[in-house]
Structure 1
C-alpha cells in the first residue's frame, strides 16, 4: 500500500457520519478509497445519503494530522524491535474469519514479529478467545493461565483483550507455552485504544511480551484514548477471530457475556467453566451454561469439541495438560479436602478441621508457598486447582 492509498483509507475512516457499513457500501460501488474520493456528489448519493456524500466531498480536519502520524509510526522502529503494519479490508492478509462477520473493521493496526505479519498473521482455524472478569478469584486467574497454557501447547492461538484479570492471565499462560520463532502467534491481544498507547498501563510489560511472540491488534486510529464505548465494540473482533470463546469467570453484567453473545451471533462455539455457587464471578458462566454454552472441565474438552488434533503423543503436551485445573492426581492433604474450592475463613476452617489456629496458619502458609492455596482479602483462603 503506497502513501496516497494509505491516506485515502485513513480519510475514509475519519469522515464524519460515515461508519463501517456506509464505507463498505462505497467500497463495493467504487473500489478502493482513492476512487471513492474522485466521485461526484450525485454518484456518491447512489450509495450513501446526501449528508454522507457531502461529508465525503469535504476534507476532515482530523485527516492530515492522522495521516502524518500514521506514516511516521509505520516508518519508525518499534522500541522493542517488533514490526508495525496496517491491514485493510482489501488486503489478502485480512483475516477471512472477520470478513465473514457482520461488521468487519475497515483497518487493522498490528504490532508483532516481522515473520508473523509478513504472511497470514491470523490462523484461519486455530484461534480460541479466552475472556473473563477483570476481578477474578484466585481460582479464576489460575484457570485462565493453565487452560491457555495447555491450549497454546496444543497449537491454538489464544485471543483476548489485554485487560486486567482473566485477559492478562490468558495472555501470560499462552506466552508461557510459546516457542521462539513459531509460525503462528502464541497470543493475540485486541485492544480498545490506538496502538501507540497501552491500557491499562499495568500491562505495559505484558504488551511488550505479546509484541515479541504474538500480535497486538486495534481497529482504532493512533492516538485513540481508552474510551469506555470502544471496549465492548472491540469484543466482536475477539470473538470474530476465534473458532470459539471460553468464558473463565464473569458476573451477570459483564463485557465477557457481550463477547459470548457476539460469538453466538457469529456462529462460533461458546464454552464456560463452572465455579462456586457463592462467587459472583461464576454467575455469568452458570447463566451461559443454562443457555446452552458447553461446560468444560479441562482443555481436552475444548480440543475435542473443536475437533482439533491434540499433541497427545508429545510428552510436553501431556505435562501441560495434566496441570489444568480439572485433573487431580494422587492423594491430597486433609486440609485441602476440608478447604474445598470456596473461599473460607480461619474460624470456619478451625471448626471443620479441629486444628488449633496457630497450627492451621502454619499449614496454610505451607500450602500457599507451594501454590495450592491463595490468600484473599478479608482473611479468606481459597484452594487452587492443583493437587
Structure 2
C-alpha cells in the first residue's frame, strides 16, 4: 500500500495520470490530507488498499471504473476470499426477512457475504453471516443509518467495512449508487431478495449484469411492489432460486466451489 497514491487520487487526478506521474508523487507528502490519513491508518483495525496493491480484490480490477482506493475497518483478509452479495429493499416483508436470513446463513458456509449495511434486507444478510463485508456509501468512520450502530460495530469486529470515500466523509445520495457497483463487482454473484423496479436494488442488479456476474432472484408475490425487481429480472433471464443450495450447487458445477471451499 502506498498512501501517496491515495492522496494523489483524492487531489483529483485520474488513474491514468497517477501512473504517469508516480515519479512526482512524493510531493503529496506535504499535503495536510497525507498527515491526516497517516494518523488515521495508525489506529488499530484501520487499513487502506489501492488498485496497485497485491491485496486489492482481483474481482474489482475486472470492472469498469474500479475504485482506486478502498478504506476499511476490520479484517482486511476477507477481501481476498470468495464473496457473494445479498441485497434488497429497506422495507422488506416478513417473507423477505426470512429469505435474507436463511440464504445468508447457508451461503456463508462457502462465501463471505457482501451487502450495503442499509436497513432492511442488507442488515438481515449481514446479521446471519459468519463472515461479512459491508460496502458503505460514506466513510468507514461514519455509521449510516445510525440505527445500525450495533451491527456496524459487530461487522468491524467480526468482518470488515469498506468504502472508496475518505474515512470521515458523510453519506450523500450519489454515493450510494456508486457504492452499488462495488457490491456487484467484488462478488461472484448477487441474490436479489425484494425491491421495487426503480430502486437501488435494481441498480445493483444492473451493475452485476454489466459486469458479467450471476444474478439470482427469489420469486415474490405478484401483487407486491417489493416483488417488482426480482420478478422482472426472472422474466428477463435471471436465475430463479427457491433454496440456497440452488446457488451452492450452481457454483460447484461451475468449478467456483469445490470440497475445500467449505469453511464450516
TM-score (ref. length: structure 2): 0.91
1:109 equivalent to 2:71? Answer: yes
1:303 and 1:309 in contact (8 A); partners too: no
Write out per-residue CA displacement over residues 189-218 of structure 1, whole angstroms, 9 at most, x where no aligned residue: 000111111100111110111111111100
The separation in 2 between residues aligned to 1:99 and 1:138, in whole angstroms, is 37
> Contact between 1:93 and 1:121, CA under 8 Å: does it hold in 2?
no
2:78 paired residue among 101, 109, 121: 121
Whether the 8 Å contact between 1:190 and 1:234 is mirrored in structure 2 is yes
Distance in 2 separating the partners of 1:10 and 1:76: 18
Question: Structure 2: which 5+ residue stretches go unaligned?
Answer: none
Selected match of 1:237 from 182, 194, 212: 182
Task: Please state whether the residue corresponding to 1:122 is helix, strand or coil.
Answer: helix
Is 2:188 the counterpart of 1:188? no
**1:26 has 2:17 as partner:** yes
Equivalent residue, structure 2, for 1:198: 143
Distance in 2 of aligned mates of 1:132 and 1:302: 17
**Secondary structure of residue in 1 paired with 2:196:** coil
In angstroms, what is the RMSD of aligned CA positions?
A: 2.2
- Contact 2:9/2:18 (8 A) holds in 1: no
CA distance in 1, matches of 2:25, 2:32: 18
1:226-261 Cα distance to aligned partner (Å, 9 max, x none)? 100000101111011111000000101110111111
TM-score scaled by length of structure 1: 0.63
For the residues of structure 2 that align with 1:144 and 1:310, how far apart are their CA atoms? Answer: 25
SS in 1 for 2:79: coil
Deviations for 1:130-174, whole angstroms, at most 9, x for unmatched residues? 000000111101110110001112x21100000000000000110
Runs (5+) with no aligned partner, structure 1: 39-56, 78-82, 179-185, 318-387
Partner of 2:34: 67
SS of corresponding position for 1:102: coil
Please identify runs of 4+ aligned residues in structure 1 that moved more than 4 A. none
**Residue in structure 2 matched with residue 164 of structure 1 by the alignment:** 119
Q: How many corresponding residue pairs? A: 258
